[in-house]
Structure 1
Amino acid sequence: MPARPALGAARSGRRTRRGGAGGGAVMHVVATAGHVDHGKSTLVRALTGMEPDRLEEERRRGLTIDLGFAWTTLPGGGPLAFVDVPGHERLVATMLAGVGPVPAVMFVVAADQGWQRQSEEHLAVLDALGVRHGLLVVTRRDLTGEAAANRVRDDALARIAATSLGKVEAVTVSGATGEGMDGLRDALRRLAGSLPPPDAEADVRLWVDRAFTIRGRGTVVTGTLGAGTIRVGDRLAAGGGLVRVRGLQSLKEDRDTVSAVARVAVNLHGGPGEIGRGDALLTPERWLTTDVIDVRLRGDPAGDLPRELILHVGSAAVPVHVRPLGDDTARVSLRRPLPLRVGDVALLRDPGRHRVPAGVTVLDVRPEPFTGRGAAAARARELASLTGRPDGAAELRRRRLIRRTDLIAMGVPVPREPVAGDWLADPGHWDELRGRLVTAVEEHAAANPSDPGLPADAARRALGLPDRALLDALAAGLRQRGGRIYGRTTAPELPPAVRAAVDAVRRELAEAPFRAPDANRLAELGLTPKTLAAAEAAGALLRLGGGIVLLPGDDARAAALLAELGGPFTLSEARRALGTTRRVAVPLLEHLDEAGYTVRVDDLRRRCTGRTT
């Protein structure tokens, strides 16, 4: 990886190449939160010895403008990385890009200022995102008395307890004097130990929070890997194309493999174009991108929400249109598609009013469009029963038919084996389809006695099946022949006049098997191509090319007679052996070739293969 620091401020030291996310120890990632100038960056600097503010302007002004990154190793614990976010109200979108993918937060309140406006908005953000793991740190203990610091602590704890974070541990410190820092390190170790274990086998979705280009190396992106594993050489989806992982860094060390949870820098090769904050690197063919989602709201009632808001998820911030459905459900249309799954948590922000009116849980990433009056109300009733926890059986009941790969890409577990190819079917719906197919086949046979086989394409259209493989699976217990499906009636019922004409042909062929009637004789009997096809389906005649008809089984009889010639034979020899004309011999021999009774030796001769039936 390039010498430019990928995860924070520069720090000298030798880099090594190894696997994992922390040299064998599990890494944890914590984001800061709190009002501007309450000492978040000072605290991170005191904990890590690193400068989280990357920009010269940030250090000159003494506040964080962009995301900063730093890390340390906790005594008795593993590596701990910090995502240091800005606290200014104008930079809440940047704060969200850092907090969105991170599982835990260190909430900072200054003892000399207490709870402030951005403290409230940051807490609302965390609550909307459903963050459940956190730690309160009251800073600047050296600037107030103990009683004042305790009042600030108790006020903050009460506010935090009313959110998704619930009861959290609190530590009072001074980043300037070092007072309480050992206790803070112990608290951070306990916080890290309380975090749920990551799923290193999960599909990768790395939300990009920084991206830059280095001469000679190409594009480098950074983010918090919350689940999955990335390896050098992997191909990942990004921006509608594929990129190759050229190199990896975590905590400024080159690595062959990085597993969640980790801060990671990824050097990319190739790709469809520029990648920036809000994009994501994805395991190929395992994610759906969507621009319409149905969601459950936590916060303001759906009807009170502004119609135009900003959806924040991961590091992405996308303008959306909100259509209320139920009291706490809505359809959200995104300005650009995002890779989302059922159960994802995000928030809606009103930047004009500087507030977060609602958090959201994604209920459906492939909702059906509303096609008629009452469709929205019906959808609201359906959404009322959804929890946002992926349920494969319930999802299959709702969708009835869906590809297995699509269900996985939606983030829903596969509840059963496919019924055909990659297709999954709800058992009740599958039984209903089978019953409808049998009914359709029998109704067709009753209405068309001379042509009882229901064409497969007509059956597929009647059942509304998206794939012919599904029809073949449904028809497994029925007879299929010539692209048609047969039920109890497997042969045509010939009308009396047609039956009489066919019987006449059969009598003539019984006397001279290979003297097939010509077109004039067939027309004289009133036999058309359609009635001849029905006679063949009924097993009464065998049709060859060129309008030639024989008795069923006479092709095998012809092959037996030709085998008596004792070796290769010409067309003329075959014609004489069968006592027929060239008009019949040519299509008959071609049929014998196709059926495997004969094979060509050269341009003029054939030989029998020995097949007898």
Structure 2
Amino acid sequence: MHVVATAGHVDHGKSTLVRALTGMEPDRWAEEKRRGMTIDLGYAWTTLPTGETLALVDVPGHQRFVPNMLAGVGPVPAVLLVVAADEGWSRQTQEHVDALRAFGVRDGVLVVTRADLGDGSLAVEEARDRLSGTPLSGLEAVVTSAPTGAGIPELRQALGRLAARLPKPAPTPRARLWIDRVFTVRGAGTVVTGTLGAGTLARGDELLLWSSRRPVRVRQLQSLGESVDHAEAVARVAVNLRGLDRDHVRRGDALVAPGWWAGAREFDARVNWLADCRSGELILHAGSAALPVRVRRLGDGTARIRAEHDLPIDV
């Protein structure tokens, strides 16, 4: 399995594109359907022509929901960058690209949507110009129209090529699942979902809930709607946890293998400073987590970061 997130400006057709690719409805909430706008993270999946399974994390594009977008993009290795042919490169497009660069996302597919309403070739040319000099400058581009179906077969082929070149994480006992959704199933208890970015999870495993260091046990596992005995990174998984109340876990927490993550609260980091970014109090986004930090510039490309609490990250 491979996991890819969408990115792009509000109303540029990200969710419509996901529906066209998968036949599934990524918008889960009644308010999203009423307003015709993605508010929270959505999930869908499809089988590519190569036989590979691709899971899609559909993110909101509106500026008010940027924290939700960051929670979805943080753990994934690649992106479906969406630009509408009739509107072109927009404010949130640029903000999402800045976020992808900060998260280290370097691969994906550039998708121009709504080619029935605008000149797709001009939108591709503009996007390539905007992406020049960034890690995403070499993205393959596909022009599509979801209502007519134009370009969708070509996009599925491009996603197959993307899946073939994405590196598979090396086997490691250092399992870590960033949690992006929490809910309760009658008769089963608390279920968390997220993108497994490292390691393997199996039924019966004992893990730690990072925020409290509380031991929890995996009761059941699901991936793409099917019960499984184990799941390997990178994958979308749902984990039914034994002995954990829903009120004790939330988005931004993580499940980790015991003994493999020391955590860090203060650390030095390489930083790409944006033009309007200064030292001081900022929000750090790591995986699906978001927490206040103090940032002190050490040089042009480095800073010292101090967080309110530690995170399971490599330093």
Instruction: Compute the TM-score of the two structures, normalised by the length of structure 2.
Output: 0.96
Match among 274, 280, 288 for residue 315 of structure 1: 288
The letter of the residue matching 1:287 is W
Kept after mapping to 2: 8 A contact 1:33/1:105: yes
- Work out the CA distance in 2 between the residues paired with 1:251 and 1:193: 20
- Work out the CA distance in 2 between the residues paired with 1:327 and 1:83: 34
- SS of 2:303's equivalent in the other structure is strand
Aligned match of 1:109: 83
Give runs of aligned pairs for residues 436-515 of structure 1, distance below 5 A. Answer: none
- SS of 1:209's equivalent in the other structure is strand
Question: Does residue 100 of structure 1 match 2:74?
Answer: yes
Aligned match of 2:199: 228
Once the two structures are TM-superposed, the CA of residue 38 in structure 1 deviates from its matched residue by 0.4
- Work out the CA distance in 2 between the residues paired with 1:226 and 1:79: 16
Once the two structures are TM-superposed, the CA of residue 295 in structure 1 deviates from its matched residue by 1.1
Q: How many residues align?
A: 312
Kept after mapping to 2: 8 A contact 1:226/1:260: yes
- Work out the CA distance in 2 between the residues paired with 1:162 and 1:55: 38
- SS of 1:158's equivalent in the other structure is helix
Question: Does residue 212 of structure 1 match 2:183?
Answer: yes
Aligned match of 1:247: 220
- Work out the CA distance in 2 between the residues paired with 1:185 and 1:341: 34
- Work out the CA distance in 1 between the residues paired with 2:27 and 2:265: 35
Match among 13, 20, 45 for residue 71 of structure 1: 45
> What CA deviation, in whole Å up to 9, does each residue of 1:243-276 have, x standing for no partner?
0000000010001111111100000012486111
* Structure of higher CA gyration radius: 1
Question: Does residue 179 of structure 1 match 2:150?
Answer: yes
Match among 108, 111, 120 for residue 134 of structure 1: 108
The letter of the residue matching 2:234 is V
The letter of the residue matching 1:279 is D
Aligned match of 1:262: 235
Aligned match of 1:306: 279
Taking a change above 3 Å as real, the CA distance of residues 301 and 35 of structure 1, as seen in their structure-2 partners, is: closer
Aligned match of 1:328: 301
Aligned match of 1:89: 63
- Work out the CA distance in 2 between the residues paired with 1:300 and 1:83: 26
Once the two structures are TM-superposed, the CA of residue 237 in structure 1 deviates from its matched residue by 0.5
After superposing the two structures, state which structure 1 stretch, 325-334 or 118-127, moved more: 325-334
Match among 153, 175, 188 for residue 124 of structure 2: 153
> What CA deviation, in whole Å up to 9, does each residue of 1:88-135 have, x standing for no partner?
001111000000000000000000111111001001111112211111
Aligned match of 1:198: 169
Give runs of aligned pairs for residues 285-304 of structure 1, distance below 5 A. Answer: 285-300=259-274
> What CA deviation, in whole Å up to 9, does each residue of 1:314-362 have, x standing for no partner?
00001001122233222111122211112xxxxxxxxxxxxxxxxxxxx
- Work out the CA distance in 2 between the residues paired with 1:316 and 1:78: 29
Higher helix share: 1
Aligned match of 1:339: 312
Structure 1 gaps, min length 5: 1-26, 343-613
- SS of 2:116's equivalent in the other structure is helix
- Work out the CA distance in 2 between the residues paired with 1:76 and 1:61: 36
Kept after mapping to 2: 8 A contact 1:101/1:207: yes
Once the two structures are TM-superposed, the CA of residue 300 in structure 1 deviates from its matched residue by 4.1
Kept after mapping to 2: 8 A contact 1:301/1:328: no
The letter of the residue matching 2:10 is V
Once the two structures are TM-superposed, the CA of residue 170 in structure 1 deviates from its matched residue by 0.2
Query: Percent of aligned positions with the same letter in both sequences?
Result: 60
> What CA deviation, in whole Å up to 9, does each residue of 1:270-303 have, x standing for no partner?
248611110000000111122211111112489x
Aligned match of 1:494: none
> What CA deviation, in whole Å up to 9, does each residue of 1:571-600 have, x standing for no partner?
xxxxxxxxxxxxxxxxxxxxxxxxxxxxxx
Return the structure number with greater relative CO, CA threshold 8 A, min gap 6: 2
- Work out the CA distance in 1 between the residues paired with 2:67 and 2:275: 23
The two structures, once aligned, show a CA RMSD in angstroms of 1.5
- Work out the CA distance in 2 between the residues paired with 1:123 and 1:309: 19
Aligned match of 1:511: none
